[in-house]
Amino acid sequence: MELFGKTAIVTGGGSGIGLAIAKAFVSEGAVVYVCDRDKNLVKELRDTDPQIMGMVADVGVESDVDELFDSVLEACNGQLDILVNNAGIAGPNGPMETITLSDWEATLRVNVISTFLCTRRALEVMKKQNSGSIVNLSSTAGTHGYPLRTPYASAKWAIVGMTKSLAMEVGGYGIRVNAICPGPVSGPRMDRVMAAEAKTRNLSEKQIYDQFVSQISLKTFVEAEDIAQMALFICSERGEKISGQTLAVDGHTESLSLLT
Ligand code: NAD
């Protein structure tokens, strides 16, 4: 029960990595609120995992974020110990000159602006408490160049800059801020990413998969549960001296250069 007595918010937790993190936190005794912009996923979550509190919110929209935080803080008497800024979209594939402004802006809004909006609300509480742990989902695309995915790479590098800067700003309040950088995670999202890459580059999805794996030392994708275990570690007492870090869980990926 490593998180007994803790309250957590996980954004974009209706599926994938966020859901795995929410389940891991609940299994360690935390009270967990999950938001997702997909109403159907939230309904499904309420049916299948009633111990996780599911709420509908689009974290790229300021009024939704305010409503989410107002409701959660009212329900848990103003206590918030953990915020996981997980919601993110892959954004478009293609040479930069083909990317539309609206796709570029949407990628930054869902990955970066949402993290700012949620973190700003969490800090009001965590600073008063003199404690808290904020986990931001970056990516291997936030530590390496990623050709034909410039909006996503830009967003995920921004998350690293925000993490390191904020960790310095709020460390004196006992608040820790870390980024997790997953490598390719098995599941529907990577299936969609590989299908889009295959189309852009006129290759088969198997060829794209093989190229990804060839650049991973352990020769395997990672699982959502691997990311959840890292989140659990850094939010528990075991991680109490860890802040300002970009923690890769990627089977050791040295490059995302898929142009070869
Ligand atoms: P996913 O697409 O499986 O799940 C993301 C969830 O977020 C979905 O349920 C979606 O409905 C929700 N969501 C999207 N936009 C939202 C918004 N504006 N407000 C609220 N909810 C929103 O993705 P995932 O693989 O679980 O990825 C989670 C995070 O990890 C993302 O930030 C992603 O960029 C990052 N990441 C994923 C991988 C991977 O291979 N899957 C690798 C590196 C980093």
Alpha carbon distance, N-terminus to C-terminus of the chain: 47
At residue 257, the pLDDT reads 84
Q: What backbone torsions phi and psi does residue 90 show, to the nearest 5 degrees?
A: -75, -25
Ligand 1: atom nearest CA of 38 is: 11
pLDDT at 253 over 60: yes
In the predicted model, what is the mean pLDDT of residues 10-27?
98
Higher pLDDT among residues 239 and 256, named by residue: 239
At residue 201, the pLDDT reads 87
Choosing from 19, 35, 36 the residue with most ligand 1 atoms within 8 A of its CB, the one to mutate for a pocket test is 36
Given pLDDT bands bounded at 50, 70 and 90, which one contains residue 27? very high
pLDDT at 260 over 50: no
Q: Please give the mean pLDDT across all residues of the chain.
A: 96
The answer to whether 152 is a known catalytic residue is: yes
Share in percent of the chain as helix, strand, coil (round to 5): 50, 15, 35
Choosing from 11, 33, 37, 220 the residue with most ligand 1 atoms within 8 A of its CB, the one to mutate for a pocket test is 37
- Nearest C-alpha to atom 1 of ligand 1 is from which residue? 16
In the predicted model, what is the mean pLDDT of residues 74-81?
97
In the predicted model, what is the mean pLDDT of residues 17-21?
98
Neighbours of 198 (CB within 10 A): 17
The CA distance from 62 to 67, in Å, is 9
Domains of the chain: residue spans and CATH? 7-185+222-249 (3.40.50.720)
At residue 188, the pLDDT reads 92
pTM: 0.97
Decide: residue 86, CB within 10 A, 0-12 exposed, 13-18 middle, 19+ buried: buried
For the segment 185-231, what is each residue's pLDDT rounded down to a tens digit? 999 989 998 999 899 889 999 999 999 999 999 999 999 999 999 99
Are the C-beta atoms of residues 257 and 147 closer than 8 Å to each other?
A: yes
In the predicted model, what is the mean pLDDT of residues 167-181?
98
For the segment 84-139, what is each residue's pLDDT rounded down to a tens digit? 999 999 999 999 999 999 999 999 999 999 999 999 999 999 999 999 999 999 99
The first and second tokens of residue 118, run together, are 């949620």
Given pLDDT bands bounded at 50, 70 and 90, which one contains residue 247? very high
The CA distance from 90 to 140, in Å, is 13
Given pLDDT bands bounded at 50, 70 and 90, which one contains residue 46? very high
Ligand 1: atom nearest CA of 14 is: 9
At residue 259, the pLDDT reads 55
Cα radius of gyration rounded to whole Å, the chain: 18
- Beta carbon of 256 within 6 Å of any ligand 1 atom: no
